[in-house]
Structure 1
């Protein structure tokens, strides 16, 4: 009796393959193309390779086409010669033999030549490069990022599709393939209102621009998805109009006729779709913006506090007596200051060069699991550097001490971060507020945050404090510093903050979280447990 068990060698082989696939997926998950502008640069290089490969394919096609056309000319000349004087031609035994031989052998060779596939090396090259291309997850993240930009800044879908971003026109626009992908994925995410807007834009673009082969998009297909989306929004009458318009082009299409009958039944019986999600019921652009959205849009009122001022700071450390820093007092609760012209262009370029090769997807500490995890609320890539990594990091930490007056011993490493498409960090606190946690047991909680802006950002990317209505927009070479804890060491909930989505630009920042334990003699009014 034959055993039903698989051979051990086969089981081991399959196990290795599964583990390899999981490892590849994990690595590619960390790659996350759209979460960093610096990380997307290599996609352009990859696309250039694909275009070169397609050109090689075209060359192979042209070679074959040239061979065929050249042969057609000679073959037709011989055939025309024979048909012009058929009897005379065929009466010659040489011509007769040649005709029989050609018909028996040459055309078999031509059949094989025509069946022979062209460009197999180029096809294999694309397959080889596929593992470095964006995945479906990457596309979904990019769709979510664009939807985040639209909602945060109150933009119109039609404006985005035509390159009008937050009031500024750019020389770029979407194709119907772009808008259709947005609509499809938002539909799958059950964000039907946003999906409907993007699908409508697809239909509008298809009326104006025709997509080249082989990328043609079926207008009928888009109309069907659009009608389905309208049904999800309980807009049955509008869905019926869309189907009727589609039927004018394809009056005998079975799917369209069945969909029309289905919608007419819904209208006649007054049936509605399932209850819609809250996010779908919201009418974009009509609801009052939240404090966070107002901050991102630059709509916070100007401060009238006369105590806030600008000055040259020469007192925090002895070194500042010789080289004072431009300091702007931004807030008192929490204490928050903005330093200007802290970093030179050369230092910024060096920091970016250090970080780019090692950028990885940013994570957030989750108290529930006790570890750092990738989350949708933070989309960027980071690289960490010990204080003694290079002369530059040593200088940077000395400068932080000069600005804050704090002892950096026991504090966290420098973190360099680059934001990508719609990159953001949702509302959060920097403090842990966990007395017995491993995160605070050794060095205490995060007493202060120091955030360097390495680049200007053309649009978006502000650091917003919604509870105190403060928004700091990135300025190349500047630094924002604030206290996360009150004088008695209690976490200050006024420090709730967020990094607004980047609309246009590459946002680079570098931050340092300073721990409280070593500040015992720098700020003596801390928790008694210290």
Structure 2
């Protein structure tokens, strides 16, 4: 027991020290990129190996104890079988006194000697690379985003049924409880209630193994508090009464019962106004993400081989699908080869960093909750592939890429998304546009298929483009007169299942004066 307490105290001390150190350490945003989460599996494998080494150390000590118990009990049973005869022999008497004086002191020291200090230190060393509480909060927010965007039910998610497709995976009570706790802390009480109820359901069906047990009454108390926040006092009282059936003398439960009964009797309502998310009719953005936009009936939209944008395309035309005319939007198919995609992913993965968004108020790029992904930037001349890719963009668009932005490679993680936004800056006096003008066009390559979710949605014109490996979508952000086109409002829908990789190129307007003249009306 003393050994266990000593180990627990050591772990708590090391955890506190790590917490202080990590206050100044930048968050790695593990969940914002699938590629960034790959290393976590390797880290977990190290932790499992370390735990196995800890078990081996415990087994060695346990084997010594068990082996010694057998010989000790044999001698004690022999003595107690004929006590007077045994103790009348001076050799036995001396041995007994010596054992009791010295051997059991050694056994006390042996029992008190902690096991697995090396393994505890190894866990501490690896903790610096583990996800933080902020990472867990981001993961919870991502799952809540998936649930709201696609209208999913908590029970379905917990059982691995995602958007109508069953996967061979499910949550544990620990997972659902973490969801409920953090959503409660975020004051998202309606969502928290669903996850906490699911936790109670799981705990009734499955028992968690030590040392990861959950207290049923602890979960019930948090659930009751959540119901009170939702002004469901009668339901909260039922939950507390169920908890009291297990522990009728629990002071905290009895006080909570009395508090709720008083609230019901006096009609007290301390519940905050609850914003119901994801309920009712889906908005245009959610409809697009769910693939519910009506099919276009515009007869002018067509598919053809484009061999006119540049002389090179006369020899090697690309398959082009006209998606929209206002704004102009085309989708090219089979533009990237599998080898090119693999090379792009390989050169981007080591340098992926959390994506940022330009904030006009501060005049700089900042990490925001509305964009969750990781990016890497590459100059046009970075490699033969980037040179070739920029040449291909020029052929597809007919634009001059001089003065345009670098290639941006991006990988989305758990529920990765980019909320509704425009690509144009509309900042005429800003340094962003002073040199090379605004973003006249966006070129967006899809490097991967996405099993579920991840569409690029244009809610104002009810267009949704779902990722297709090797394809590229191109659209104009500015109208013919050079003014920003608000119809280009778009968003990247949350990824449900899959690893979404894209590559962006934003083309600036200044060099297009003869390619696409600004036509003032």
When normalised by structure 1's length, the TM-score is: 0.93
Determine the structure 2 residue equivalent to 1:129: 126
Question: Any conservation in 2 of the 1:520–1:526 contact (CA below 8 Å)?
Answer: no
Counterparts of 1:28 and 1:440 in 2: how far apart (Å)? 31
Determine the structure 1 residue equivalent to 2:42: 45
SS in structure 1 at match of 2:413: coil
Counterparts of 1:138 and 1:284 in 2: how far apart (Å)? 23
Counterparts of 1:273 and 1:298 in 2: how far apart (Å)? 41
Unmatched tracts of structure 1, length 5 or more: 1-19
Determine the structure 1 residue equivalent to 2:32: 35
Counterparts of 2:306 and 2:142 in 1: how far apart (Å)? 40
Determine the structure 2 residue equivalent to 1:505: 498
**Structure 1 residue corresponding to 2:367, chosen from 374, 392, 416:** 374
Determine the structure 1 residue equivalent to 2:483: 490
Determine the structure 2 residue equivalent to 1:311: 304
Determine the structure 2 residue equivalent to 1:76: 73
Determine the structure 2 residue equivalent to 1:87: 84
Shift of 1:487: 1.0
Shift of 1:26: 5.9
Shift of 1:68: 0.3
Counterparts of 2:97 and 2:502 in 1: how far apart (Å)? 79
Q: Tell whether 2:356 aligns with 1:363.
A: yes
Q: Tell whether 2:234 aligns with 1:241.
A: no
Structure 1: which 4+ aligned runs deviate by more than 3 Å? 20-28
The 5 Å alignment of 1:220-235 reads 220-235=217-232
SS in structure 2 at match of 1:179: helix
Determine the structure 2 residue equivalent to 1:152: 149
Counterparts of 2:158 and 2:81 in 1: how far apart (Å)? 62
Shift of 1:350: 0.4
Q: Structure 2 vs 1, CA of residues 445 and 524 (structure 1 numbering), >3 Å: closer, same or farther?
A: same
Q: Which moved more, 1:98-107 or 1:368-377?
A: 98-107
**Structure 2 residue corresponding to 1:479, chosen from 448, 472, 489:** 472
Determine the structure 1 residue equivalent to 2:197: 200
Shift of 1:81: 1.9
Counterparts of 1:257 and 1:138 in 2: how far apart (Å)? 36
Determine the structure 2 residue equivalent to 1:288: 281
Determine the structure 2 residue equivalent to 1:62: 59
Counterparts of 1:153 and 1:79 in 2: how far apart (Å)? 70
Counterparts of 1:72 and 1:275 in 2: how far apart (Å)? 62
When normalised by structure 2's length, the TM-score is: 0.95
Shift of 1:25: 4.8
Deviations 1:8-54 (A, max 9, x none): xxxxxxxxxxxx9999556532x110000000000100100000010
Q: Tell whether 2:186 aligns with 1:186.
A: no
Q: Structure 2 vs 1, CA of residues 201 and 325 (structure 1 numbering), >3 Å: closer, same or farther?
A: same
Determine the structure 2 residue equivalent to 1:450: 443
Question: Any conservation in 1 of the 2:149–2:278 contact (CA below 8 Å)?
Answer: no
Question: Any conservation in 2 of the 1:233–1:273 contact (CA below 8 Å)?
Answer: no
The 5 Å alignment of 1:374-453 reads 374-453=367-446
Counterparts of 1:309 and 1:26 in 2: how far apart (Å)? 55
Unmatched tracts of structure 2, length 5 or more: 1-17
Deviations 1:56-97 (A, max 9, x none): 010011000000010011111111222222233222222222
Deviations 1:294-340 (A, max 9, x none): 00000000000000000000000000000000000000111000000
Counterparts of 1:526 and 1:367 in 2: how far apart (Å)? 28
Q: Tell whether 2:251 aligns with 1:258.
A: no
Question: Any conservation in 1 of the 2:318–2:332 contact (CA below 8 Å)?
Answer: yes
SS in structure 2 at match of 1:417: strand
Counterparts of 1:24 and 1:73 in 2: how far apart (Å)? 49
Question: Any conservation in 1 of the 2:457–2:463 contact (CA below 8 Å)?
Answer: yes
Question: Any conservation in 2 of the 1:424–1:501 contact (CA below 8 Å)?
Answer: yes
What's the RMSD between the two structures over aligned residues?
A: 1.4
Counterparts of 1:46 and 1:512 in 2: how far apart (Å)? 34
